[in-house]
């Protein structure tokens, strides 16, 4: 019941913001790709336009949460955990104010020690979203968008063999986000607040809900080259099974994400980012990840 109240509160907040925001009567400006390099943009696409974005991610996990010590520790000697993923991502402008987003992650991760190697490979959890731009002031270069998010348990998370790793959470997720964005000269400033409700996984564990906050600043050095820095904070509340809280199952992570974008042609771009972990309390964490992507607008 508490979760539903939080979700309804977010819906009412977005609705209230829509009602009291000033209306913008100017014609929608055609917005070509700008940041974010890492994350979800607040800008919607012009109607009928399509963006194909895909990115490769590499993570080498070196830390794990040790429940007996109550802190993050190094992985046991001889154990490795690496993850590779390739994610095609489509964005399509249904209208000038409404954009459809869909992600299809392909995952390949390996955990090994001296006795066994476990592999998780295949399609991960598909993510879909609707991005709605409900306020746009052309003169002030300021906009506010809302995001309705869903995640589907398409990645294998149950009936695993002894040598298999899960590549999904096994839960249905739904979320809401509010994302204001403002351009100031060559700067692009963004903020997002994201709440995600997660259902039970195949083991009957009610996964804790996720709250995610980010603040970004990007700078246009030229028409072709942009750099960006993002501070990201993500927390997930304790998991619950059979009405009992699983002590210590909450997680928190904060990261500094550094990125760059280079425009090869007017609508074709390459992007790179490095999320650096500042603090983590999670089952596994890496000091940094590597992220490479391409971005093409039709």
Quick one: tokens of 94? Answer: 């249904």
pLDDT at 32: 52
Domain boundaries, the chain: 2-297
Helix (H, G, I), strand (E, B) or coil at 130: strand
pLDDT at 69: 82
Task: Name residue 262's beta-bridge partners.
Answer: 225, 270
Instruction: List the one residue out of 226, 177, 170 whose CA is nearest residue 200.
Output: 170
Taking CA 170 as the corner, what is the angle to CA 167 and CA 174, rounded to the nearest 5 degrees? 115
The phi, psi pair for 151, rounded to 5°, reads -130, 135
For the record, the structure tokens of 121 come out as: 């490979």
Q: What is the pTM of this model?
A: 0.84
In angstroms, how far is CA 227 from the centroid of its own chain? 19
Each residue's pLDDT tens digit in the chain (298 positions)? 444 444 444 443 444 433 333 334 333 344 455 678 888 889 999 999 999 999 999 999 999 998 888 888 999 988 999 999 999 999 999 999 999 999 999 999 999 988 899 999 999 999 999 999 999 998 999 999 999 999 999 999 999 999 999 999 999 999 999 999 999 999 999 999 999 999 999 889 999 999 999 999 999 999 899 999 999 999 999 999 988 888 888 999 999 999 999 999 888 999 999 999 999 999 999 999 999 999 998 8
Indicate the SS3 state at residue 238: coil
Contact predicate 195/210, CB 8 Å:
yes
- Cα separation of 54 and 40, whole Å? 13
**Residue 113 and residue 284: Cα distance in Å, rounded?**
15
The whole-number pLDDT of residue 40 equals: 84
The answer, yes or no, to whether the previous bond of 9 is cis (omega within 30 of 0) is: no
Q: What is the CA radius of gyration of the chain?
A: 20
Domain covering 2-297, topology: Porin (2.40.160)
- Taking every pair of Cα atoms in the chain, the longest distance, rounded to a whole number of angstroms, is 66
> Torsion-angle region of residue 72: left (phi > 0), alpha (psi -120 to 50) or beta?
beta
pLDDT at 36: 83
Question: What is the spatial distance between Cα 151 and Cα 198, in angstroms, rounded to a whole number?
Answer: 9
The reported pLDDT for the residue numbered 33 is 56
Closest CA to 252 of 239, 236, 238, 268: 236
Contact, 172 vs 206, CB < 8 A? no
Is the CB of residue 194 less than 8 Å from the CB of residue 174? no
Helix (H) or strand (E) holding 15: helix 2-20
DSSP class of residue 203 equals T
């Amino acid at each position: 019941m508490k979760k539903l109240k939080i979700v309804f509160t977010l819906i009412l907040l977005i609705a209230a913001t829509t009602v009291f925001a000033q209306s913008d009567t100017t014609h929608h400006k055609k917005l070509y790709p700008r940041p974010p390099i890492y994350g979800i943009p607040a800008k919607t696409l012009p109607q009928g336009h399509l963006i194909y974005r895909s990115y490769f991610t590499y993570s080498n996990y070196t830390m794990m949460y040790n429940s007996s010590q109550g802190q993050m520790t190094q992985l046991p000697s001889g154990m490795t955990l690496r993850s590779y993923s390739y994610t095609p991502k489509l964005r399509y402008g249904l209208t000038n104010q409404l954009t459809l987003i869909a992600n299809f992650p392909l995952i390949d991760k390996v955990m090994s020690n001296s006795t066994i190697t476990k592999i998780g490979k295949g399609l991960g959890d598909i993510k879909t979203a609707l991005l709605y731009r409900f306020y746009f002031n052309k003169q002030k270069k300021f906009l506010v968008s809302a995001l309705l998010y869903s995640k589907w348990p398409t990645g294998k998370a149950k009936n695993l063999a002894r040598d298999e790793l899960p590549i999904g959470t096994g839960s249905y997720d739904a979320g809401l986000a509010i994302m204001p964005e403002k351009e100031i000269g060559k700067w692009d400033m963004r903020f997002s607040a994201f709440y995600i409700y997660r259902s039970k996984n195949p083991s009957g564990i009610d996964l804790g809900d996720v709250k995610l906050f980010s603040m970004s600043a990007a700078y246009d050095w030229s028409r072709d080259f942009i750099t960006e820095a993002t501070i990201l904070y993500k927390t997930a509340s304790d998991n619950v099974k059979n009405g009992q809280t699983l002590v210590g199952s909450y997680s928190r992570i904060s990261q500094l994400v550094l990125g760059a974008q280079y425009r090869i042609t007017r609508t074709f771009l390459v992007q790179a980012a490095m999320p650096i972990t500042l603090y983590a309390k999670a089952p596994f964490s890496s000091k940094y990840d590597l992220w490479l992507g391409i971005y093409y607008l039709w």
